[in-house]
Structure 1
Amino acid sequence: MTMPWVIRDLFAAANRCMDDYLRLEQIEPTCRYLWPDGTRFDAWQRLPQLIQEIERLSPPDVPAFFRFMAHTSRIYDAVSGPFLLRPFDGLRELLTPSLIRHALRIDALRSVDTAVRSFFRSPHLRQVFNRYATYNGSSPYRSPATFNLIAYIELAEGGWYVRGGMYQLAVALNRLATELGVEIRLQTPVTEVIVDHSRACGVRLADGSNLPAAAVVVNADPQYAYTHLIPDGRQEADRLARHEPSYSGVVLFLGVEGEFPQLAHHNIFFSADYPGEFQAIVHEHRLALDPTVYVAVTCRTDPEHAPPGHLNLFVLVNAPADTGQIDWAAVMPAYRDHIIAKLETMGLPGLRQAIRYSHFWTPCDLAHRYNAAFGSIYGLSSNTPFSAFARPPLRARRVRQLYFVGGGTHPGGGIPLVLLSGRAVAARIAADMPV
């Protein structure tokens, strides 16, 4: 997780200290990168170690790294105020003379890859920095170079882990909300947002009862909500369906016997053909033959997550959104074996024989489990210069007192941005409905 200050600010806004509710620990190295040619690169938040790694890999890229960080810090400064830290209801709010003047400053007119190539010589480092576009489900060859600010955020502020796992963040927020008088109803499905004269006035539950409300905040995927929850939402759902969804993923959950000391907490096993991988996923809507594989091993930081002598592996491979072109049940057993074989050839020999538990999810599973349109992890893609600014707005266009929050709306996916989304919605409701 990045941007830990977002969580601290959330608790501070409620006059609470985050440390009384949960514990954050910095992960070092932030991530370990591995290539088919045997190259390894550890990204550290601690600058001396990071520079040492860059110098070992490509000495000429040390000054390039400092230029890159200075460049991306300026992008972050230009974008964070108007985009990350304030509510907005669509691209028109951002198309101000100020933003237009800053279009070049935020590097929106060239791709992530083009910008990265202008700084770094090493093909390995280019691949490392291109990877940050995947943090919001986009291709580095199409998404605007504005998203290089993601690299700046992670490398400047570090990667963090919630002790006990991410679920402990939900536990902490539940405790905080309860202390503040919020009633949380679990196992209570909502079947409809009640709309009267173009105003949201409550929700209908699966048992047929109604809950009246002065405002309704929906944290479901906006396209799903307009299709299944909001009366007469088909027009808005169709509008969203015209936009390209972000890609999805296939996930392997593996319980493994053995230590595999070559694994850090976060690991990336790169494809030998990165452009070809995105060509397959984004343009041809098929699984990549040589995928990049992300492996998280949380028991490296949290030993209680696996029995002694064992590891818990969360394995993620990017996959096309579930548009009905792939029979996931038919292809996944073989693709699972393909992923494991790749990991074995890239430094984890004996992995297949060490597996004691195995389960997988597909984009179809993500769509059904989380009501995510097409199983997309990040909502709409950000593969055009200003598409990130054109996500579904926080405030519904056609229904008053109806708001959206979460990874499918502004400012985007990932825990910090989702929390910022909640803060922005709260500010918008307070402005719309002053007490």
Structure 2
Amino acid sequence: MSESIVVVGGGLGGLAAAIRLAGKGYQVRLLEKNERVGGKLNIHQAAGYTWDTGPSLFTMPWVVRDLFQSVGRDADAVLNIVPVDPVCRYRWPDGTLFDHRASLADLIAEITKLDPRDAGGLFRFLAWAERIYTATAGPFLLAPFEGLRDFITPRFIRDAPALDPLHTLDQAVRRFFRSPYLRQVFDRYATYNGSSPYRTPATFAIIPYIEFAQGGWYLRGGMYSLARALEQLAHELGVIIERNSEVTQVCITDGAATGVQLADGRLVTADRVVINADALHALRHLIVPEHRHRFTDRRIDRYEPSCSGFVLLLGIDRDYPQLAHHNIFFSADYPAEFRAIFDLQVPAPEPTIYVATTARSDPEHAPTGHLNLFVLINAPATSVRFDWQREAQGYRDLIVRKLTHLGLQDLEQHIRYEHRITPADFADRYRGWRGALYGPSSNGKFSAFLRPPLRSPDVRRLYFVGGAAHPGGGIPLVLLGGRAVATMIERDTALA
């Protein structure tokens, strides 16, 4: 008889693990706290508008295709993966504009407008970042990773200098680009894992490398179509999915996970447990202290959280032709933003603002002549230094005024629907540790290797997957985490 698996949480990592395990014959039950699966990849619909409320850019599409192929399915039969051009439109307070174009020729033309010398800098940067990607992809992204010992191989020793962990991303970017505008563009990629470009190691240059080398994509119908497709695939493979089923504790007997306790009093037994909740939240709240000697409360508290986000979902009754699908309105003082977020632990008074409008690619996401604006500002994780319940309205007003000043004329007067999401909401709805979007930050030289591991070091038959665990946050990484956990369980089952 095959082993039974319970997956706690229906985020993308949990769904990926469940699909792969069910495809191998395991009996899988997935328990989701909320009314929908998808985790932070979610959806909000109101007043004729539709918003994706989580990841808005699709990268590394081969990861999704690999997941479907692993169970004999074709991702392109159910997902309409289309390129985005421009991948992103960047604006600065002085009026400078830069489009990250999808074609190389158009991209070089855009870079040349800012500084002709930086066209060559782009090629040098990509060649350098490719060496980092080549050195890290195998042991860190594509294989089950259990700690630095997996990395210390003859190839790692040979390639170690290329990883450049002793310099920050900003320091590395400055070696290749002269334009202050392009430096800010490439520094921004540190926020893809919720970190600061002035503290995160240069190793994370693989993030812009992947986007520039492999492209930026969108899922026609909305990003949430991925969650729907994975849920349907899981159903077809026999995964039992229960929504509105919050887990309150992992049951442990003789040092091994044996099931979970639910808020409604039910006990679900299983041979193995996979936790797709935020790993730091789960360690602290789902596992009693006597069973987590390596992850004590004190150790958990020492993790610096990644940034969170302040989100405005705005239904607008007019068009702003200057907006592309993805837009960045940069601040004039980028270092000050990250000092506010990570050092002062307060929202930046002059923040960079991200605005997405999927109506550019999916017109049905807004009434004719209207736009659906997803507005995201990097914000600190929750702390005693800022009360979102008291201060959210004022910060919202600041953002709307700034967008108006930056060209969205009379924005306040054209808002027909509005919904906001604060770091406190991310903490409550998704049980994100301190509302962080990506679990621990990657601001330390070796922090990428110190995330909560995929297999519990304290409890046998207990595993973690998701943005707070290895290898990190973002759609492709959590899907790869699901692949790694499924591989680990297969190996562990064979050895049992």
Q: Distance in 1 between matches of 2:258 and 2:75?
A: 34
SS at match of 1:396: coil
Q: List gaps (5 residues or longer) in structure 2.
A: 1-57
Alpha-carbon distance, 1:96 to partner: 4.2
SS at match of 1:364: helix
Alpha-carbon distance, 1:340 to partner: 1.1
Name the counterpart of 1:430.
Answer: 490
Aligned counterpart in structure 1 of residue 407 of structure 2, from 326, 347, 350:
347
Name the counterpart of 2:329.
Answer: 269
**Cα contact 1:137–1:248 (8 A) shared by 2:** yes
Aligned counterpart in structure 2 of residue 406 of structure 1, from 438, 456, 466:
466
User: In the TM superposition, what whole-angstrom CA distance separates every residue of 1:300-334 from its partner, at most 9, and x where no partner exists?
Assistant: 10111111111101101011110222111221111
Name the counterpart of 2:54.
Answer: none
**Cα contact 2:141–2:477 (8 A) shared by 1:** yes
Name the counterpart of 1:175.
Answer: 232
Aligned counterpart in structure 2 of residue 69 of structure 1, from 120, 123, 126:
126
**Structure showing greater relative contact order (alpha-carbon pairs closer than 8 Å, 6 or more residues apart):** 2
Q: Distance in 2 between matches of 1:396 and 1:284?
A: 33
Q: Distance in 2 between matches of 1:61 and 1:224?
A: 43
Name the counterpart of 2:76.
Answer: 19
Alpha-carbon distance, 1:104 to partner: 1.5
Of 102-111 and 404-413, the range deviating more from structure 2? 102-111
Name the counterpart of 1:155.
Answer: 212
Name the counterpart of 1:84.
Answer: 141
Amino acid at match of 1:265: H
Q: List gaps (5 residues or longer) in structure 1.
A: none
Amino acid at match of 1:297: T
Alpha-carbon distance, 1:278 to partner: 0.7
Alpha-carbon distance, 1:192 to partner: 1.4
Q: Distance in 2 between matches of 1:374 and 1:330?
A: 17
Name the counterpart of 2:481.
Answer: 421
Of 202-211 and 260-269, the range deviating more from structure 2? 202-211
SS at match of 1:290: coil
**Cα contact 1:45–1:157 (8 A) shared by 2:** no
SS at match of 2:420: strand
Aligned counterpart in structure 1 of residue 97 of structure 2, from 20, 40, 49:
40
Q: Distance in 2 between matches of 1:329 and 1:207?
A: 29
SS at match of 1:184: strand
Q: Distance in 2 between matches of 1:91 and 1:224?
A: 23
Residue 257 (structure 1) aligned with residue 317 (structure 2)? yes
Residue 327 (structure 1) aligned with residue 356 (structure 2)? no
**Cα contact 2:139–2:150 (8 A) shared by 1:** no
Alpha-carbon distance, 1:118 to partner: 0.7
Name the counterpart of 1:361.
Answer: 421
Alpha-carbon distance, 1:253 to partner: 0.8
Q: Distance in 2 between matches of 1:143 and 1:190?
A: 34
Alpha-carbon distance, 1:211 to partner: 1.6
Aligned counterpart in structure 2 of residue 294 of structure 1, from 330, 351, 354:
354
Alpha-carbon distance, 1:97 to partner: 5.0
Residue 128 (structure 1) aligned with residue 188 (structure 2)? no
Alpha-carbon distance, 1:54 to partner: 0.5
Alpha-carbon distance, 1:94 to partner: 2.4
Name the counterpart of 2:431.
Answer: 371
Of 40-49 and 184-193, the range deviating more from structure 2? 184-193
Q: Give the 4+ runs in structure 1 shifted more than 3 A.
A: 95-98
Q: Distance in 1 between matches of 2:80 and 2:132?
A: 30
Name the counterpart of 2:47.
Answer: none
Name the counterpart of 2:198.
Answer: 141
Of 392-401 and 315-324, the range deviating more from structure 2? 315-324
Residue 242 (structure 1) aligned with residue 302 (structure 2)? yes
SS at match of 1:318: strand
User: In the TM superposition, what whole-angstrom CA distance separates every residue of 1:5-42 from its partner, at most 9, and x where no partner exists?
Assistant: 10001001111111222211111110000000000000
Task: Calculate the TM-score normalised by the size of structure 1.
Answer: 0.98
Alpha-carbon distance, 1:91 to partner: 2.9
Name the counterpart of 1:394.
Answer: 454
Aligned counterpart in structure 2 of residue 105 of structure 1, from 153, 162, 175:
162
Amino acid at match of 1:419: L
Q: Distance in 2 between matches of 1:346 and 1:92?
A: 49
Aligned counterpart in structure 1 of residue 441 of structure 2, from 381, 384, 398:
381
Amino acid at match of 2:463: Y
User: In the TM superposition, what whole-angstrom CA distance separates every residue of 1:224-272 from its partner, at most 9, and x where no partner exists?
Assistant: 1122211235651521221111111111111111110100011000010
Amino acid at match of 1:181: G
SS at match of 1:142: coil
Name the counterpart of 2:364.
Answer: 304
Alpha-carbon distance, 1:100 to partner: 4.1
**Cα contact 1:393–1:404 (8 A) shared by 2:** yes
Q: Distance in 2 between matches of 1:291 and 1:240?
A: 29
Q: Distance in 1 between matches of 2:313 and 2:226?
A: 21
